[in-house]
Structure 1
Amino acid sequence: MSIPTSLYHTKKILEEKAKDEEKRIEQRKAEAKVVEPVNTLQLTQTMLDEVMPKVLDHFRVEGKVLEHAILNQPIKMEGHEICLEVMGHVQEEIAQKMKPELLTLIRDLTGAGKLAIKLVVKEELESATNKLYTSSDKLRFLKEKHAALAEFQKRFGLETDY
């Protein structure tokens, strides 16, 4: 990118950026639009289970590792919706981007008509136990778990702090 030499040149660069952004937005809208086929065949869990290895193989061959990881989790059918479980916002964004491709792929493989994908965002649960940061905490935890360690500590005069 060059440094603008005049106000006119600056305006021209800004207009070009705006046009590029509009093109990107139009492409995203086109990708997001999915044409509903007229087929009346309803997708079932067994049909989905049969085609998922092919879908996973497609994403693996394409080199889409993150999408493959999302699809590698158990997938359930609820009515005409495929429920994908994602962990956090990063996987949610990736799943949103792959929805049109996934819908098209499943429709082509199964011939199912009315179909949708629902994302279920699950946050990672923090462990209920306390985090063991210091050496004293770790030793206390291990002594609770293994009673013989307390005897070793007494017999050999073991300490966590120097």
Structure 2
Amino acid sequence: MIMSVADTSQDRIEREIQIDAPIERVFQLVSEPGWFIGDGDPGKTTTTREGDVFVMNFPPYGRFPILPVKSDAPHYVSFRGGDDPARPLVEGTSTLVEFFLFERDGGTLLRVVESGFAALYPSAERRASAIEGNVEGWEIQLAFAKRDAESGRGE
């Protein structure tokens, strides 16, 4: 079951899912830069590296830069992400995507928190649209994470 919360400040999304797989396996999956870009078929995306930034190319939707920020295996990993590879990935020009992993009920509770929408999208209309799209996107991506971790894909 996926749980979703968009806070009242319209600046963050929180979602979580229970995955029936060991925390180490889930961490291996979610610590891969840009794993959450695409439609669940890794063959449709290509990754290039430009310094510390990973650029995910996902035709026909575009190129998405991902900057690894912090990792504390197997419980936490974070990235900055944006929609323009030409812009630096810093606060105000990107969102912060954080993954928190907890051992629970013989599996892993995976929580994603994406924040920074208010600074990235000053227009309330554009911000609401971005949040709405990302809420739907996280539902899809967490389902892919569950599928892949439970099946052992990528090991």
Q: TM-score normalised to the size of structure 2? A: 0.32
Q: Which has the higher strand share?
A: 2
Greater RCO between the two (CA within 8 Å, min separation 6)? 2
TM-score, normalised to structure 1's length?
Answer: 0.31
